[in-house]
Amino acid sequence: MSETTTALAGTETAAAGLQQMSMQQALNRALDEILAENPKTVIFGEDCGRLGGVFRITDGLQDKHGQDRVFDTPLAESGILGMSVGLAMAGFHPIPEVQFDGFAYPAINQIVCQIARMNYRSRGTLPMPITLRVPSFGGIRAPEHHGESLEALFAHVPGLKVVSPSTPHDAYHLLKYAATRPDPVIFMEPKSRYWQKGPVDLTSAVPCEPTHDAETSNGGDLTGARVAREGRHLTLVAWGAMVARCLQVAELAAEDGIDVEVLDLRWLKPIDAEALATSVGKTRRAVVVHEAPLTSGLGAEVAQLITQSCFATLKAPVERVTGFDVPYPSGDLEDEYIPNIDRILFGIQRVLEYRRG
């Protein structure tokens, strides 16, 4: 077994069940336990079997659970997702992987016309308990089509649920939760966070209360958003890799006396409208941050939900700090495209300095 799998247990801490592990290790452990707990679970995709995946998320699982439950597929995303539909119809719980987010495009027909609709089309007789793992977003300086931000596309489709963890703890618990759902779940993994370590409580999905510490803030219901950092003056709303960046911004803003709350949305379909209303109802200002282009991005939906519930108390229009309305660039231009600390701070400044005419 490889070093990655051997290190899966992580570093034990004083608290029972609490371990330090990377998001890659947390996802690997979750998949290992899912396979052990549900004999109907099968995991497959390009290089998922013997190699253990490009990012080694499935490392060691084929050796442990067998080639009939963890296996490689041809380089054909439409075939991978089409096979997932047939397996789900036959009573299995497929966990397919699309190797990179940009490779999901060839399978859009299967995702939208079959996976998302089969339960509705069959009047509930053919549920689709499929958890589609999609390494997502940028930040690893990869070639074109290896970094995308497709959450708005998936969230727009009725019948799909969409989730994106930002910490190893959430990655572990949200993946295990998604694998028990009767509905198809698009599980968007922030690939730039795969190697970042953090505490994972293996015994509880809610190990501690939200604090100002990004490394220990893992609170919240698995079905909704979580407050990653409490604050009073403004709410930053983000998901996936942008949560860590917003936490960095919040620490810098605090040096100037600005107390920023960071809300990790986690579920992008359905969106936790109540958590948005609670957080922005308190701070009365909001900035939404995401990597996808601005126009018709998911931030527009979030901004509308905030405006709908907090219109009477908002002190400024909801600001969005996003990628640009251009194709997601290759790695050498990522730093110019992905919202950086300065752009987010300027967004905060615009909201704080807004004055009604």
Confidence at residue 86, expressed as pLDDT on a 0 to 100 scale: 97
CATH code, 14-197: 3.40.50.970
Give the distance between the most distant pair of CA atoms in the chain: 67
Cβ-proximal residues to 311 (8 Å cutoff; 6+ apart), any chain: none
Distance (Å, whole) CA 194 – CA 100: 13
Domain spans of the chain, in order of start = 14-197, 219-352
Quote the pLDDT of residue 172.
Answer: 97
What is the distance of C-alpha 125 from the center of its chain? 29
Provide the 8-state DSSP code for 167.
S
pLDDT of residue 205: 77
Domain 14-197 and domain 219-352, same fold? Reply is yes
List all residues 6 or more positions away from 255 whose beta carbon is below 8 Å from its beta carbon: none
Secondary structure of residue 265 in the 3-state scheme: coil
Asked if residues 93 and 129 have their Cβ atoms less than 8 Å apart, the reply is yes
3-class DSSP assignment, residue 131: strand
Please state the pTM of the whole predicted model. 0.91
Distance CA 113, CA 353 (A): 46
pLDDT-flagged residues of the chain (< 50)? 1-14, 207-219
Q: What is the pLDDT of residue 220?
A: 53
Tokens of 23: 């998001």
Structure tokens at 280: 């922005």
Residues 219-352, CATH architecture: 3-Layer(aba) Sandwich (3.40)
List active site positions. 146
Residue 201: per-residue pLDDT = 93
Cα separation of 220 and 167, whole Å?
Answer: 13
Residue 213: both structure tokens together: 């510490």
Q: How far is CA 166 from CA 26, 154, 245, in A?
A: 12, 18, 10
